[in-house]
Structure 1
Amino acid sequence: MPRRLAAVLRPALALLFVTVLALPGAFAQGGKTVRVLVGFPAGGGTDAIARVLADKLKDELGAQVIVDNKPGAGGQIAAQALKQAAPDGSTYFISHDHTISIVPQVMKNPGFDPARDFVHVAGFATFVNALAVSGSLPPKTFAEYIDWVKAQQGGKSAIGVPAPASVPEFLVRLIGDKFALDLVAAPYRGSAPMLSDLFGAQIPAAIGSVPELVEPNKAGKLRVVAVLGGQRQAALPDVPTFAELGLAGFEDVPYYAFFAPAGTPRAELDRFAGALAKVVAQPEVRDKLTGWGLAVQFMPQAQIEQRERAYTAAWAQIIRRSGYQPQ
C-alpha cells in the first residue's frame, strides 16, 4: 500500500475498530451465538417464555440468541449440559424452581450441584401452579372434581404432573391425604405431552404452571379449578386458591431465572442481566408474560439467590414430611 494512501486510511481504520468494539456485545460475544438451554420440550410453557425473551435479547446483546431444547428428566439433561458448557458467557439456562430447587433434593445423583456448578444471573418472574380438569369432563369446580373422583371405583384417579418427584407430584399426595382420595401422580416428560393428554381426556386432571394453562382454559380445553399461592391470580380471578379450599402451606411461589456455568466472568453475567432487565421492561414483553399468568419482576443476582435458597429450604421441609426417599 502506498505510504500516502496508508496515511489517509489509518485514521479511518482506527475509527472503524473503535466503533466495532463499542457495538453492544461485540467484544464480549466475539461473534459467538448465545445459547439458551431449556429443559423441557418445544411447545411447553418454559419454551414459549424462552423464545419470547430470546427474540428480544438478541437486539440488546448484539448477538444471535438461540433456544436449545434438551428435554427430559425434569430439566436434568439441560442442567448437565450447562455444567459442561464453557464459562465464557455464550451459554445460559432458563429454569424454574423444579430443576434448581427440587431435583437436587429428590435425586441421589442428579449430575449437577447448583451451588457448585452454576451461578445465578438474574430472575425475571414468579408464577404459581394450578390444578386443571379436562374440559370434556363434568367437573367445573374443585368441589365437583373431588365429588367426581369419589364417585369413581375405589375413589381412585390419576393426575398428570410434568415431571416425576416434582412440586406437582407432592401436591397430588397432599390433595389425596387431605380429601381421603386415592390419587396417583402420572409423570410426563414436560408439560406439552401432559396437556395434550389432558385435552383429549386421556388423563382426567393435571397440575401445571398457570402460564401454560391460561390460554387452554380460555379455549375450554381444560378448566382450572384451584391455584397455589397466597392470592388469586389476575389471569384467573374466579379460581380459588388451595388455601381457600382448606389446603394451606403452599403460599411460597416459584420463580423463573437464568443461570450460567460457574466461573463465567462477572462482566458477562452483568451484561446478560442488564440486557434481560431491559427486555422484561418492554411493555409488549411484560404484557405477553403477564397474560400467561407470570408476575413479571426483574430480580438481580443477589435477590434471585435469596429467593431460590428460601424456596429450596421451604420445600426441603415438605419433602421430609412427605416421607419421600431420594431415588
Structure 2
Amino acid sequence: MTTSLHRRSLLSRAVRTTAALAATLTMGLASAQSDKPIRLLVGFPPGGGSDAIARLLSEKLKDALGMPVVVDNRPGAGGQIAAQTLKAAPADGHTLFLSHDHTISILPQVIKNPGFDPVHDFVPVGGFATFVNAFAVSGSNPAKSFNDYVAWVKAQGHGKGAVGVPAPASTPEFLVKLVGQKYQLDLVAAPYRGSAPMMADMLGNQIAAGVGSIPDFIENHKAGKVRVVAVLGTKRQAAMPDVPTFDELGLKGFEDLPYYGIYAPAGTPAKFIADFSAALAKVVVLPEVHGPLTAMGLTVGYMAPQQLAARQQAYTAAWTRIIQNTGFVAQ
C-alpha cells in the first residue's frame, strides 16, 4: 500500500513538473513570437509617397500592437517584387504588404505572369485611404494650367512630349495615353522605378511633366517647385482646391478612386488579421496620423477587410474596361 501511494505521488509530481515545463516553454515561445517584428513590405524606394505613409503608420501600429513594425522597402517593377515577396513569406502574421491600387488591381492585368494572384495569394487586412492621381509640370515649364501645357506641347513641333510615370503599364501611364488621344498629342510615358526618381528628374528639369499620386507631388507643389495642373476624380481636392479635375476639363472615366490597403499572405491566421485590422482602425483616427495623411492629399478612412476587398474588386473592374479601351496588350 505504501509503495503504491509512493508511486502515485511520484507520478503526480512528474505530471505537474511536465505541465509546468510545458507552460514555461509555451510562454517562452509566445514571448519570442511577440518580440518578433512585423515586416511591412513597401514596393517602392525610400523617399516616395508610399514609403512616407508606411513609416508614419508603422510607428503608431507598433504602439497599438505592442510589437515592432519595421518597414521593408522592396522596390522594383511597380511593386511586383514586394508582392512576390509577400506570396513567398510564411503565413504567420509577421509579414504584411502596404500597397496602393497599382500592384493589386493593375499589374495582374498588364503582365501575363506577374508571379502572384492577389485574389488567391493574398488576404485583405484593412484599408485606410483613397486618393487621386495628378498631372504636374516641372518648375521650369512655362505652363500655368493644364490647357497651357497642351498648348506648350503642340508648340514644340508635332505635338510631342514625354511625361514621367512612377512605373510602366501603370494607371499614370494609361492616363498619359488617354490625354494624348483626347488632345491629339504625341505623348510618350517615361517609366521610372517609383515616384522619388521621377520627382528628382522633374525638380532637375530633366522631364517637363509627370503623373503620380497627390502625396508624391504635394510638398513640392506647395513649395512652387512643381505645379499640379489637374487631378483625377469628380471633386477638387481639399489639399489643392484651386486645381481643376480632369472631369471638369472633359476627360471622363476616372470616377473610381485608387486606394491604399494592407495585405497578408493567404492562410494567415484569422485572429491576427482581426487584431491587426482593429489596430489599424484605431491608428488612422489619431490626429497625429489622420492629419499628416490628409495633408498628403489622402482621403483617410478605415476599411474593414471585406470593404477593402470590395473596393479592390470595383477598381479592378473599372480599370479592366479602361485598359481594354486603350488597346493595351498584356506583356
Q: TM-score, normalised by structure 2?
A: 0.91
3-state secondary structure, aligned to 1:319: helix
Query: Are the counterparts in 2 of residues 124 and 296 from structure 1 also a CA contact under 8 Å?
Result: yes
3-state secondary structure, aligned to 1:30: helix
Distance (Å, rounded) in 2 between the aligned partners of 1:192 and 1:296: 22
1:210 maps to 2:214: yes
- Indicate the residue corresponding to 1:228 in structure 2: 232
Distance (Å, rounded) in 1 between the aligned partners of 2:309 and 2:76: 25
- Indicate the residue corresponding to 1:72 in structure 2: 76
What's the % identity of the aligned pairs? Answer: 64
- Which is higher, the Rg of structure 1 or of structure 2? 2
1:207 deviates by: 0.2
- Indicate the residue corresponding to 1:281 in structure 2: 285
3-state secondary structure, aligned to 2:158: helix
Distance (Å, rounded) in 2 between the aligned partners of 1:181 and 1:270: 49
1:29 deviates by: 4.2
- Indicate the residue corresponding to 1:11 in structure 2: none
Query: Are the counterparts in 2 of residues 159 and 204 from structure 1 also a CA contact under 8 Å?
Result: yes
Structure 2 residue corresponding to 1:265, chosen from 259, 265, 269: 269
Structure 1: segments with no counterpart, 5+ residues: 1-13
Deviations 1:157-196 (A, max 9, x none): 0000000000000000000010010000000000000000
Distance (Å, rounded) in 2 between the aligned partners of 1:281 and 1:138: 40
Structure 2: segments with no counterpart, 5+ residues: 1-19
- Indicate the residue corresponding to 1:166 in structure 2: 170
Q: 1:194 is aligned with what amino acid?
A: M
Distance (Å, rounded) in 2 between the aligned partners of 1:141 and 1:225: 5
3-state secondary structure, aligned to 1:153: coil
1:30 deviates by: 2.8
Deviations 1:264-312 (A, max 9, x none): 0000001110111111010110000000000001000111100100000
| Deviating 4+ runs (over 2 angstroms) | 26-30
Aligned length in residues: 307
- Indicate the residue corresponding to 2:92 in structure 1: 88
3-state secondary structure, aligned to 2:263: strand
Distance (Å, rounded) in 1 between the aligned partners of 2:185 and 2:127: 37
Distance (Å, rounded) in 1 between the aligned partners of 2:255 and 2:241: 17
- Indicate the residue corresponding to 1:55 in structure 2: 59
3-state secondary structure, aligned to 2:248: coil
Structure 2 residue corresponding to 1:128, chosen from 119, 132, 145: 132
Deviates more, 1:305-314 or 1:28-37: 28-37
Query: Are the counterparts in 2 of residues 29 and 90 from structure 1 also a CA contact under 8 Å?
Result: no
Structure 2 residue corresponding to 1:43, chosen from 26, 35, 47: 47
Q: 2:273 is aligned with what amino acid?
A: L
- Indicate the residue corresponding to 2:256 in structure 1: 252
- Indicate the residue corresponding to 2:188 in structure 1: 184
- Indicate the residue corresponding to 1:156 in structure 2: 160
Structure 2 residue corresponding to 1:105, chosen from 104, 109, 112: 109
Q: 1:203 is aligned with what amino acid?
A: I
Distance (Å, rounded) in 1 between the aligned partners of 2:255 and 2:122: 27
Structural mapping, 1:194-205, within 5 Å: 194-205=198-209
Q: TM-score, normalised by structure 1?
A: 0.92
Structure 2 residue corresponding to 1:137, chosen from 121, 135, 141: 141
Distance (Å, rounded) in 2 between the aligned partners of 1:125 and 1:246: 26
Deviates more, 1:130-139 or 1:29-38: 29-38
Distance (Å, rounded) in 2 between the aligned partners of 1:49 and 1:109: 29
